Amino acid sequence: MESADLTLLLVSLALSCCAQIEVHQPRRMVATEGGTAQLSCSLSGQQIQNLSVHWFQQMPGGPPSFILLHYSNATIHRGDAFSQHFQPMRDIGNNTHFLLIPRVTTNDSARYYCMVSQERSNPVWGGGTFLSVSGGNDVLKPSVTLLRSEESLTRAPIVHIMCLVSKFYPAVIEVTWKLGGQIPSGQVTMGPSGPDEDGSYSMATILEVPSHQQTHLSSASCEVRHDSSLTVISRRLSDCSK
């Protein structure tokens, strides 16, 4: 075999090997305050004991923060902002890594990412898990208001609909738009989820409805899921006062 052909083959095999590694995280989970949250990071294409696993926490509206790194040799390196409250665990039999959070509180509600890495290969990220902690005395259910722009009363190239979500805690929340029973193709703008003076959170999201979808305008709906308060609220534009 020519040396050039051999080089191409080796590069191809290396890329194929890296591409086979997949990281899987559940989209969401709910834990009860005072219990233990067990966040999972399952792997395919490689053995978990051969990889180093990183965990990150992302609060709504903020960047990811490094929690810890669990090396393949079992050494643990922790981020400066996180204590041993967070514990890593490998389950070799199920090819899964866990981040355990004992005595979990509502303050632990956030999105958690795992990332796996191996020497001389690119890191692979999971999609992240939204952790919502329920049962705390400080949990607040959201209130939801749907507003429409004046353009929605007449024919316009673009109509704007706002979903205002107010006074909820903790901050982890999911907002989904529907138009004609489907996820709309129009642009969605998500406002910041900053804390109010009382420590609760409020946010707004705006849906732009182009003219070719305005026949479904009355069916537009905003669904809010707040797992910490075990609340799902759906508001339809047709329910708004004319």
pLDDT value of position 3 = 46
pTM: 0.83
pLDDT score, position 10: 38
Equal fold, 20-134 vs 143-239: yes
Instruction: Check residue 211 and give its pLDDT.
Output: 77
Domain residue spans of the chain: 20-134, 143-239
Instruction: Answer yes or no: CATH 2.60.40.10 is held by domain 143-239.
Output: yes
Residues of the chain with pLDDT under 50: 1-18, 241-242
Q: What is the pLDDT of residue 139?
A: 97
CB atoms within 10 A of CB 195: 13
- DSSP three-state, residue 68: strand
The whole-angstrom separation of Cα 236 and Cα 222 is 7
Distance between CA atoms of residues 239 and 237, nearest Å: 5
pLDDT in the model for residue 153: 54
Q: Which two tokens stand for residue 149?
A: 């722009």
pLDDT at 155: 64
Give the 3-state secondary structure of residue 14. Answer: helix
Helix (H, G, I), strand (E, B) or coil at 168: strand
Q: What percent of the chain has pLDDT over 90?
A: 60
CATH number for 20-134 (one of 3.30.70.3170, 2.40.37.10, 2.60.40.10, 3.40.640.10): it is 2.60.40.10
What per-residue confidence (pLDDT) applies to 205?
92
Give CA–CA dist 170/132, Å, rounded: 8
pLDDT at 151: 57
What pLDDT is attached to residue 184? 79
Residue 170, token pair as written in the block: 């903790």
Measured CA distances, 237 to 128, 184, 210, 214 (Å): 32, 14, 16, 12
DSSP string, 113-169: EEEEE-TTS--EE---EEEEEES-TT-B--EEEEEE-GGGGS--SEEEEEEEEEEEB
